[in-house]
Chains A and B, each alone.
Chain A
Amino acid sequence: MDLTQGFGARSGVVGPVTGLESLNFSDEFRHLVATMPPENTGGSFTALLEMPVTQAMELLHFTDSSSSQARTVTGDIAPTTLHPFGALTFPSNSLLLDRAARFSVIATEHNGNISGETANSLQSNSGANLDRVKAEPAETDSMVENQNQNYSSGKRKEREKKVKSSTNKTKSSVESDKLPYVHVRARRGQATDNHSLAERARREKINARMKLLQELVPGCDKIQGTALVLDEIINHVQSLQRQVEMLSMRLAAVNPRVDFNLDSILASEVSMN
């Protein structure tokens, strides 16, 4: 099997000091391979999903404990710790072994790199690996679910657009980048004509802009009703235009008298602002 060969290669790379530990691993995994025929089933993460968590933890702790104890070089550990795994049935061993191999490689590397390192680092590794293990199935779960939801939501939206008026519908008009058309659903108790939907969208647009204008023009917040707000807006625009005229008259009146020293004016203007 490729994995065992990989183990052998890695064990060769690590070095003589750690070679014993890696040997233990490779021995243990070879035992595993021998007892359970490898089944290449799809190679998905469902293997770990199907496996109960405790067994996964056991596996990891097995590597952890074995690596920590490997320094004492007790070959007795290997057969005794194999027993819990003998009873297990792994649906896709290749994946499992791959994972265990990764964890074991990390463990051996740590052992090899840091001689004085205690089992803490290994435990942290295994803890991180555990997190990874737990996270990945969760990720795949959410991924699969999201995909399903996206498909179903698209279908739902399509269905809703085609279906005729019913009182229990809700409305949303979306212009999403993902899907090519505008989704419009009727509000509860309102018609789902194309015309009325378009009217409603149009009205929403106009109302949004009116709101912005209201915020811009002072004193429009309190007023209710479009007509009065428009009155205020018109008054405001007219007053601004009149102000501009007044100011221009002022400037015209001031100007002939002033001797133009542009630089001084500019400098003072800059200092003002």
Chain B
Amino acid sequence: MVESLFPSIENTGESSRRKKPRISETAEAEIEARRVNEESLKRWKTNRVQQIYACKLVEALRRVRQRSSTTSNNETDKLVSGAAREIRDTADRVLAASARGTTRWSRAILASRVRAKLKKHRKAKKSTGNCKSRKGLTETNRIKLPAVERKLKILGRLVPGCRKVSVPNLLDEATDYIAALEMQVQAMEALAELLTAAAPRTTLTGT
């Protein structure tokens, strides 16, 4: 590794020292970042099967519950959108659960469910109003943040639970989040394909 490079660098003369450590310094930072990230990326590629199973099981349960609850609803649009939201939340939660709590966004997703339930019982409207007013104030106060920092803030808002996170951690979280999202998309697509393929069969045989 890079540490083993350094004894050899020490031995060589001053002239060669100028060239090599430059490369090794950035390489070392890269290697550190890579070590963390490649593990997480590979994780999202190998645990796919488990994710699919988990997603499916939970979604099946949800569907059953939704069905029973939607018998009371009349409009089909509401049904679909409500069901869609629920399915997406379920999928996100399963995704977060499969992250095993190592990443910030996964913990935020799992925690947000608890917070949402609490908010429902308490005064939800007032809290959302406060948020909006706060946003307006902050935007008018600052003239223009540097473009990169602005974008980092936007990215922080996109990744759940990463608004006040430091920049390198934010980038780490974003990397893992992107890998997880890609896996989620692939899994859900496969599932959707399966179900749509299965649907004509069952509808023909069923009703």
Does A131 make an interface contact (CB < 8 A)? no
| Interface contact A273-B48, CB-CB below 8 Å | yes
| Interface contact B188-A247, CB-CB below 8 Å | yes
Does B114 make an interface contact (CB < 8 A)? no
Q: Which residue of A lies closest to B190 (CB)?
A: A272
The B45-102 residues at the A interface (CB cut-off 8 A) are 48-49, 52-53, 56-57, 59-60, 63-64, 66-67, 70, 79-81, 83-88, 91-92
Q: How far is the CA of A168 from the CA of B18 in the complex (A)?
A: 8
Q: How far is the CA of A260 from the CA of B70 in the complex (A)?
A: 17
| Interface contact B192-A254, CB-CB below 8 Å | yes
| Interface contact A212-B158, CB-CB below 8 Å | no
Does B178 make an interface contact (CB < 8 A)? yes
The number of chain A residues with a CB under 8 A from chain B is: 69
Number of residue pairs A-B, CB distance < 8 angstroms: 201
Does B110 make an interface contact (CB < 8 A)? no
Interface-lining segment among B115-123, B127-135, B136-144, B169-177: B169-177
Q: Which residue of B lies closest to A204 (CB)?
A: B29
Q: How far is the CA of A101 from the CA of B140 in the complex (A)?
A: 92
Which one, B60, B174, B206, contacts A233 given CB within 8 A?
Answer: B174
Q: How far is the CA of A88 from the CA of B64 in the complex (A)?
A: 99
Which one, A231, A249, A256, contacts B84 given CB within 8 A?
Answer: A249
Does B22 make an interface contact (CB < 8 A)? yes
Chain A residues with CB below 8 A from B88, complex form: 244-245, 248
Chain A residues with CB below 8 A from B195, complex form: 251, 254-255, 258, 265
Closest Cβ–Cβ distance, residue A221 to chain B (whole Å): 15
The A168-190 residues at the B interface (CB cut-off 8 A) are 168, 170-178, 185, 187-188
Does A252 make an interface contact (CB < 8 A)? yes
